[in-house]
Amino acid sequence: MDELITVRFFGMVAEKLGKQELVLENPGNSDRLLEHLNENYPDLKEIKFSLAVNKKLCTEPSIIPIGAEVAILPPFSGG
Amino acid sequence: MNRFERQLILPGFGTEGQEKLRNSSVAVIGAGGLGSPILLYLAAAGVGKITVVDGDEVSLSNLNRQVIFGEMDLGKKKAEAVVDYFRSKYSDIEWTVISDFISTENAKEILSPHHLIIDGSDNFPTRYLVNDACVLLKKPLVFGAIYQHEGQVSVFNLNRNSCQYRDLFPDMPSAAEIPNCSETGVLGVLPGIIGNLMALEAIKVLSRLGEVLDNRVLYFNSLTSETYDLQISPSFKARAAAPADWDSLQAINYELACEGIETLDWDDAFRRAGHGTMLVDVRELEEEPPLVCSALTKIPMSVLPQQLEKLEDAESIFFFCQTGIRSQKAALLIKSHFPDKATYSIKGGISALKTNSRSNG
């Protein structure tokens, strides 16, 4: 089970993908995760988002540790 | 006994905290779904000076969440209606009404006099502009935003080691990156909750109470009642993306834009309209207000890709929607199918034609 990671989707990403969460085998780093997501969910390409690993925002490509929780965070503008 | 008795006896707040609130000046950008609870609680808590900035007018569809307003306020300027309401409630607050939208021209003047800025606006251009201005002015900014059933809250620029909004998202999304900008639904309670969290952060910053959401972003999902506490840190990317001085800020076009699409305002559109021109409303059929115009074609964005033949005969096409975002996407789509046609998007959409029609706030 340690080889799995959880990816949580927020806002319009969750809406577009029709799911809040995804469990998948750990691709090892954020670049490979993005590649995997873009391949499987082409809708993602149209949306701007940030990525966090274990509740820390990534400002550059990052290692994804085993069992990590990754979040895909699009901006919100409503008020 | 005074009206603040119950917070004066509160450990950790007391007369010192009250004095700090009384001597504070705050600007609230947007008197809408977030602005309503923010203003209600800042005023109740006794913030000394409050400036309300909103160029919008009250419309019927605002009332499910903009709880300061009622039916008697329909059509009134929001900033004025807010201050009328509070003047009859409390006599000890100094109010300033700014019935105008914040812009690159007025941002410095509007924000400079205050200790704290609160962004309860409803669109990306305003959010980036307010952020950039607060960075230049070194003013703390309480930030909050919602999307359907989710909301987020943070405090930016609290001190030299604090993040700004661009640490979260360095660049503004383009119009193409906002998949659906037609007015999204919202239950009034969500902006109520997020606005209250913003008011709480504001009071904490002003009275130096507790730990504020500095370098943290708190997310709340109203469907699952789950929270998500994100840690952020100042980045070089954010500093590089933000304007370095006021001249650079004024040179930024904060409008949401699609590359390669020409935009024009309503005056230009009417001036250029003539033989071979089509004016196309790409809003969905139920969207209001309708535009009364004899030479109008309605093709909602949702069916436009299937109805391209309707545009075949036009030489030039002017698209408009509610705020000018979907119309840019429409123009982009048409350009790819009919590269020879002159296609334009009307800046600001129907909202720019008739300001009191805006209801997304």
pLDDT digits (tens, 9 = 90+) for B104-117: 999 999 999 999 99
Place B294 in a pLDDT band, splitting at 50, 70 and 90. Answer: confident
Whether B63 and B152 map to the same domain: the answer is: yes
Domain membership flag for residue B344: yes
Is B326 in contact with B301 (CB distance < 8 Å)?
A: yes
Nearest CA in chain B to A12: B147
Spatial neighbors of B107 by CB under 8 A, at least 6 apart, are B129, B130, B133, B249
Domain membership flag for residue B91: yes
* Residue, of B256 and B201, whose pLDDT is higher: B201
Q: What is the mean pLDDT of residues B31-48?
A: 98
CB contact under 8 A, A76 and B30: no
Name the residue among B155, B138, B144, B169 with its Cα closest to residue B235. B169
Task: Measure the CA–CA gap between B289 and B300, rounded to whole angstroms.
Answer: 14
**pLDDT tens column, A27-43:** 999 999 999 999 999 98
Name the minimum distance, in Å, from the CA of B308 to any CA of chain A: 22
Mean pLDDT score of chain B = 92
Whether B271 and B294 map to the same domain: the answer is: yes
Q: Which of A11, A55, A59 sits opposite B147 (nearest CB)?
A: A11
Mean pLDDT score of chain A = 93
Statement: residue A74 has pLDDT above 50: yes
| Final residue of a structural domain among B231, B251, B271 | B251
DSSP state of B126: H
Taking residue A2's Cβ as centre, other Cβ atoms within 10 Å add up to 8
Indicate the burial class of B149 (C-beta count within 10 angstroms; 0-12, 13-18, 19 or more).
Answer: middle
Whether B137 and B29 map to the same domain: the answer is: yes
Task: Classify the C-alpha dihedral B15-B16-B22-B28 as positive or negative.
Answer: negative
Whether omega before B37 lies within 30 degrees of 0, making that bond cis, reads no
CB contact under 8 A, B233 and A57: yes
| Final residue of a structural domain among B193, B219, B251 | B251
Q: Which of B127, B229, B233 sits opposite A55 (nearest CB)?
A: B229
Whether B239 and B271 map to the same domain: the answer is: no
Task: Measure the CA–CA gap between B66 and B28, rounded to whole angstroms.
Answer: 14
Q: State in Å, rounded, how far the first CA of chain A is from the last one.
A: 40
Statement: residue B181 has pLDDT above 70: no
Q: How many CB pairs under 8 A join A and B?
A: 86
A49-66 residues labelled b (16+ CB within 10 A) or e (exposed): bbbbbeeebbbeebebee
Whether B78 and B20 map to the same domain: the answer is: yes
Q: What range defines the domain where residue B138 resides?
A: 5-251
B244-280 residues labelled b (16+ CB within 10 A) or e (exposed): eeeeebeeeebbbbbeebebeebeebeeeeeeebbbb
Whether B65 and B95 map to the same domain: the answer is: yes
Place B183 in a pLDDT band, splitting at 50, 70 and 90. Answer: low
Instruction: Extract the tokens encoding B102.
Output: 């914040």
Domain membership flag for residue B256: no
Whether B228 and B310 map to the same domain: the answer is: no
Whether B213 and B316 map to the same domain: the answer is: no
Is B193 in contact with B146 (CB distance < 8 Å)?
A: no
| ipTM for this model | 0.95
Name the minimum distance, in Å, from the CA of B30 to any CA of chain A: 8
Name the minimum distance, in Å, from the CA of B80 to any CA of chain A: 19
pLDDT, position B336:
84
Residue B9: give its domain's CATH number. Answer: 3.40.50.720
CB contact under 8 A, B145 and A16: no
Is B68 in contact with B40 (CB distance < 8 Å)?
A: yes
CB contact under 8 A, B120 and A77: no
**pLDDT tens column, B141-175:** 999 999 999 999 999 999 999 999 999 999 988 77
Instruction: Extract the tokens encoding B78.
Output: 């929001």
A5: contact with B, CB 8 A cutoff: no
Whether B121 and B209 map to the same domain: the answer is: yes
- Interface list for A 30-59 with B (CB within 8 A): 43, 46-48, 50, 52, 55-57, 59
CA dihedral B219, B53, B356, B303 (to 10 degrees): -30
User: In chain B, which ranges are E strands?
Assistant: 25-29, 49-53, 94-98, 116-119, 141-147, 150-156, 216-221, 226-231, 262-264, 277-281, 296-298, 316-320, 342-346
Statement: residue B179 has pLDDT above 60: no
Task: Measure the CA–CA gap between B310 and B29, rounded to whole angstroms.
Answer: 42
Q: What is the mean pLDDT of residues B342-346?
A: 92
CB contact under 8 A, B148 and A56: no
User: What percent of chain B stands above pLDDT 70?
Assistant: 95
B56: contact with A, CB 8 A cutoff: no
Top-level CATH class of A4-73? alpha beta
Task: Measure the CA–CA gap between B142 and B199, rounded to whole angstroms.
Answer: 8
Q: Which of B34, B179, B230 sits opposite A46 (nearest CB)?
A: B179
Name the minimum distance, in Å, from the CA of B124 to any CA of chain A: 6
Whether B182 and B69 map to the same domain: the answer is: yes
Interface probe, candidates B167, B177, B254, chain A, greatest A C-beta count within 10 A: B177
Task: Measure the CA–CA gap between A44 and B225, rounded to whole angstroms.
Answer: 25
Whether B228 and B272 map to the same domain: the answer is: no
Q: What is the DSSP string of A13-74?
A: HHHHHT-SEEEEE--SBHHHHHHHHHHH-GGGGGS--EEEETTEE-SS--B--TT-EEEEE-
Name the minimum distance, in Å, from the CA of B45 to any CA of chain A: 22
Name the minimum distance, in Å, from the CA of A2 to any CA of chain B: 22
Interface probe, candidates B68, B178, B224, B239, chain A, greatest A C-beta count within 10 A: B178
Q: What is the mean pLDDT of residues B272-301?
A: 88
**pLDDT tens column, B250-280:** 999 888 766 678 889 898 888 888 888 999 9
Q: How many domains does chain B have?
A: 2
A61: contact with B, CB 8 A cutoff: no
Whether B183 and B213 map to the same domain: the answer is: yes
| Final residue of a structural domain among B222, B251, B280 | B251
